Amino acid sequence: MHVNIEESWIEQLKEEFDKPYFQRLTDFVRNEYATKTVYPPAKLIFNAFDSCPFDDVKVIIVGQDPYHEPGQAHGLCFSVNDGIKIPPSLVNIYKEIRDDLGKEIPISGNLERWAKQGVLLLNATLTVRAHIAGSHQNKGWEEFTDTVIRCLSEEREHLVFILWGAYAQRKGASIDTSRHLVLKSPHPSPLSAHRGFFGNKHFSTANKYLIAKGKKPIDW
């Protein structure tokens, strides 16, 4: 089936789009958008991929669910549109960047600038019903995004996978750690950030690794 996603990802994932689970997922998602309020806007479901072609990926940050309140989700994990209040987890991410790299905290929570530098901001589930966290889990998205992670692990070299929290770490179980750098810590949520997210220095560590592999570091 045809999926409206950036060309290099079509090439990598084309077999996935013809599998029965993906057809069931597509039917479910289309029905949800037709009958419910669903985020992100339909044209931005694959924004993480459209913003970061397969061969440009240098860093992968794994999230769980899109934000489920109006105006927040735009297809990039942890990111919100310009003008939207910065969510608590992203506030803590910005604090860690400040403490790690000495950068000032931005006024916008829009992370498109990261995506354009090669940071794939991948949620495990790419859609959600308004006001209901986790409402599109276990419908097929997780199988699709597991394939994305496995594909990157197998087809690329010297990537940085950033896995915050137990959910992301389970999702990264297939990553070949002999080919890639995997960084793990507690989640940046206010509930867990003080248990080891703060002070993890993932941003400087990722950049040192990229530089050592002859790649341009990320301007976090």
pLDDT in tens, 116-133: 999 999 999 999 999 999
Distance CA 95, CA 53 (A): 28
Residue-level pLDDT at 49:
98
Residue 138 pLDDT > 90, yes or no?
A: yes
| pLDDT tens profile 44-75 | 999 999 999 999 999 999 999 999 999 999 99
Distance CA 114, CA 139 (A): 29
| pLDDT tens profile 149-165 | 999 999 999 999 999 99
- Which two structure tokens, joined as six digits, stand for 177? 């750690």
User: Rounded to 5 degrees, what angle do the CA atoms 77, 82, 84 make?
Assistant: 80
Predicted TM-score of the model (pTM):
0.97
| Cβ atoms of 124 and 145 closer than 8 Å | yes
Residue-level pLDDT at 2:
76
Residue-level pLDDT at 3:
84
| Cβ atoms of 8 and 54 closer than 8 Å | yes
Residue 1 pLDDT > 80, yes or no?
A: no
Q: For all residues of the chain together, what is the average pLDDT?
A: 97
Distance CA 36, CA 59 (A): 34
Distance CA 100, CA 121 (A): 20
The residues carrying an active-site annotation are: 65
Residue-level pLDDT at 38:
98
Of the candidates 29, 5, 28, the one whose C-alpha atom is nearest the C-alpha of residue 17 is 5
